[in-house]
Amino acid sequence: MPARRWMLAASLFAALCGVLLLLAPGAGIVGIVPVIAWYAVVVGVVLIVGAVRIRS
């Protein structure tokens, strides 16, 4: 199922982002904001693609 692969990819990416933030807590807000922004963009695209695939 392709939708499950997208959700797995989103979950793995979320876990990776969490681990990176735990490993570098001193990065500061300037370093964390771009990571959160890219995470939001990627997860948003994954969710939109998943929704379109489920609808069709």
What pLDDT, on the 0 to 100 scale, is given for residue 44? 92
pLDDT tens, 1-49? 687 888 888 888 888 878 877 887 776 567 778 878 999 999 999 999 9
pTM: 0.50
pLDDT at 1: 60
Q: Quick one: which of 17, 8, 6 has its CA closest to 40?
A: 17
Tokens of 7: 């959700």
The residue with tokens 């199922």 is: 1
> Nearest to residue 13, comparing CAs of 37, 43, 34?
43
Is residue 23 classed exposed, middle or buried when 0-12, 13-18 and 19+ CB atoms within 10 A define those classes?
exposed
Note the pLDDT of residue 10.
Answer: 86
pLDDT, position 28:
59
CB atoms within 10 A of CB 35: 14
Q: Residue 14 has what pLDDT?
A: 86
In the DSSP assignment, the letter for residue 56 is -
